[in-house]
Amino acid sequence: MALSLPSREGFLEHGLTFIPYSELKNHTDEPNCPICNQDFTEPAKTPCGHVFCDFCIRTWFDHVEHCPMCNTVHVQPPPPAPLVIDTHIESLYLDFTADQAAVVRELNIFHDIQKLPRAQAPNSTWAESSKVYIDFDILLYQAVGAAIWLKPDMGDDGRLDKLDIARFAWECAVYKIHFELQEDDGAVFDASLFQTRLASRVKVYVNFCAQTHHGYEEPEYSGAEFGTRTLASDLDDLYDYITWRAVQAYETRFFSDLIELEASG
């Protein structure tokens, strides 16, 4: 029978292990804290074996239930949130059904990431030799959640303004990403090749949609409120996040298989 997970308060009180600086190299190969990317301050180790600054990891677990490095869950999850994300999903006019609870979980992760010292989604956090595994049933909702998180705010009516072709482009991009992930379900690719191919195919499709429905390609945001933000840079962040999660899926699936194989041998 599996042991129940501790409450958030119980984990923060008893679940972290203090590591003396003199022994730090025996517990981690990381030169800096993976959360703040600075020198370790009062190093603390999680039960899954990862080391962070005590302040950083406590801040993380104030709002999140899993390890930021390996996604091992250490805290009893809260009761499911009310499914108030309906209008957000509907705002993209998706041509496919999206599991509301799964998208809510992803949006909660993004919301928690914003509270950390490194207040953004991971960017290019994989090595050139990294591989991705496409698990469509999981990666789709991570992609939809990321798109909702990154796209411009909705209008007062809770829907994207169809007259704004840059916002319309988000619908086209998410639809194409859905198609590409479904086509690649179960496949393994080089991470850089996967991201480059995904970005290229989505761009072609988005430009095709803009040309067909609005008469010209290369849709872009309009208005001073966007500052230096561009549709292209936001979509690049989306591809980056999708690839990062696919790298995690590969490592979880195949490293676990390798460990089991070595253990059985």
Give the side-chain half-sphere CA count within 13 A for 235: 27
pLDDT averaged per 10 residues, the chain (length 265): 72 90 89 89 92 90 84 77 49 63 69 48 61 90 82 52 66 90 94 93 90 76 72 87 87 66 51
Neighbouring residues of 4: CB distance < 8 A, sequence distance ≥ 6: 76
How big is the CA angle at 184 (ends 179 and 188), to the nearest 5 degrees? 150
CATH code for the domain defined by 1-79: 3.30.40.10
Count the neighbouring beta carbons within 10 Å of the beta carbon of residue 110. 17
User: Tell me: the pLDDT tens digits for 45-54?
Assistant: 999 999 999 9
**pLDDT digits 0-9 by tens, 186-241:** 999 999 999 999 999 999 998 888 888 777 777 777 666 667 778 888 898 889 88
Q: Where in the chain is the domain with CATH 3.30.40.10?
A: 1-79
Contact of 116 with 52, CB cutoff 8 Å: no
Share of the chain above pLDDT 70, in %: 70
pTM, full prediction: 0.59
